[in-house]
Amino acid sequence: MDIIILAMVAVFIALRLYSVLGRHTGNEPGPADKPINIGELSLRNADRQETPAQQVQSADVVDLHPDPALKAIVAPIMAADRSFDPQGFVGGAGGAYEMIIEAFAQGDRETLSPLLGDDVRDGFLAAIDDREAAGQTMETKLVDLVSTEIVEAAVDGRMAEITVRFEAEIISALRDSEDRIIDGNPSDVEVVRDVWTFARDVKSRDPNWLLVATQREE
């Protein structure tokens, strides 16, 4: 009799626990986000993931959709590629900007090459070769990407181009073979404004945008 009573109590407790812990409320946390390998970052025009740095800077990114002037700028791209997402592009451009300037400073050819068009790639790699031949080293750190702004967009046949102005706070220094600073300062933050142009074949299945031109505003 005692065994039967204990069994009934155990079943009752089990049912109560299930009613509290085993019921799905819709507020359960989902599976952990897959870690993002920054080496795989690319400029994608849809369904892109942001790096943690981009998420922190999201408040600085201009919301393109409500601005009629900006919508007019990207209209040729959206007409040629209906999946184009201006906000996604701005976030990706900011991530690519950080990756490219730091990879260039480190002489990381493997990271740079897939992100650059032919002419820019040749120029960047030649500069790295010259720097290494002289025994020089460069250190560059992006302190803050203050703003990322699409300033121009166009489509010529299959090729789309988007020009972006970046304003950033950067620390940079160039050292000679004796580790003496010959340019820049590792302790000073410099505000720079770069205008970069990205291009993509809108008919291609490859969603990546390549950096095809660079210019620094004085």
Tens-place pLDDT, residues 142-198: 999 999 999 999 999 999 999 999 999 999 999 999 999 999 999 999 999 999 999
Residues 169/190, Cβ–Cβ less than 8 Å: yes
Q: Please choose, from the candidates 59, 140, 130, 145, the residue with its C-alpha nearest in 3D space to the C-alpha of residue 106.
A: 140
* The token pair that represents 92 in the structure block: 């990706």
pLDDT score at 7 = 47
Q: Evaluate if residue 18 carries a pLDDT over 90.
A: no
Q: Which of 32-36, 72-76, 187-191, 210-214 has the lowest mean pLDDT?
A: 32-36
Q: How much is the pLDDT for 57?
A: 42
Q: Exposed, middle or buried, 57 (CB in 10 Å: 0-12/13-18/19+)?
A: buried
Q: Residue 8 — pLDDT band, cuts 50, 70, 90?
A: low
Bridge partners for 156 per DSSP: 159
Run of H or E residues at 192: strand 181-201
Q: 178: buried, middle or exposed (CB in 10 Å: 19+, 13-18, 0-12)? A: exposed
H-assigned helices in the chain:
2-21, 52-56, 68-80, 86-106, 109-112, 118-133
Least confident of 4-8, 37-41, 70-74, 116-120: 37-41
CATH code given to domain 44-217: 3.10.450.240
Quote the pTM value. 0.70
Extents of the domains making up the chain: 44-217
